Amino acid sequence: MSAFERIHVAADVVAALGAGDRAAAGEVYRALSSVVYTLALRLLADRQLANEVTQDTFVEVIERANTVESPAAFVGWVRSIAVNRCLMKLRSPWHRRRLPWTDGDAHDHGATAARLDGFGDLERALRQLPSKTRFVVWMHDVEGYTHGEIALLTGKTESYSKSQLKRAHARLLAWHTENDDGRSNAAAPRDGVARIADGGAAG
């Protein structure tokens, strides 16, 4: 389940934001900044880029808040802006040189970067995936996007999205199995890595 689905922003706050109220902007930022940052961090696997996406997202949200027609759709609208900002980063020439948006083996980011605080095994596992594969698995299994919606976002086909998801599940399951071998308690509860690897969602 997407963390965005657990957040509600009152209609009067959305209206006030659209009217340029600074207090409403602060309230919206406090309500949504952490989930926007987490989304960006999971998709980009980079703290600095996640911070940039978070800031850019809220600049756009504040600038365009007066265009929101349905307050009930406000949170989903913010999420769509954040996702598009992430895609802009992934498609940028700089990011392509750093983490290519092309087919290929997973990059071992975890071997060269410190483990991110607070996200545990799921975060470390996702960092093993190429950027495009990580995008598909997170958007489908956690954010709840359909393969058709992912295809529209990435400019690819539904078959492409499905194949990337299948590949991601196989890699995550292999990663989880390899790392689980070293655990002393084989009967420990299954974590987010295992649930995603099995095709389920992790919140």
Q: What is the pLDDT of residues 65-95, one digit of tens each?
A: 999 999 999 999 999 999 999 999 887 765 5
Q: What is the pLDDT of residues 180-193, one digit of tens each?
A: 655 544 444 445 55
Q: What was the pLDDT predicted at 197? A: 56
49 Cβ contact list (under 8 Å, min separation 6): 40, 89, 95
Q: What was the pLDDT predicted at 200? A: 57
Q: What is the pLDDT of residues 140-176, one digit of tens each?
A: 888 888 999 999 988 999 999 999 999 888 888 887 7
Q: What is the pLDDT of residues 6-22, one digit of tens each?
A: 999 999 999 999 999 99
Taken as a whole, the chain contains a residue count of: 203
pLDDT at 101 over 70: no
Gap between the Cα atoms of 66 and 72, Å rounded: 14
> H-helix or E-strand containing 27?
helix 22-44
Topology of 1-98 in CATH?
Rna Polymerase Sigma Factor; Chain: A (1.10.1740)
Q: pTM of the full predicted structure?
A: 0.66
Higher local confidence (pLDDT), 118 or 164:
164
203 Cβ contact list (under 8 Å, min separation 6): 1, 2, 3, 142, 192
Gap between the Cα atoms of 67 and 34, Å rounded: 23
Question: Mean pLDDT over all residues of the chain?
Answer: 78
- Is 136 strand, coil or helix? helix
Mean pLDDT of the 97-111 span = 37
* Buried/exposed code over 77-94 (b: 16+ C-beta within 10 A; e: otherwise): bbbebbbebbbebbeeee
Most confident among 113-117, 138-142, 199-203 (mean pLDDT)? 138-142
Domain ranges of the chain: 1-98, 100-203
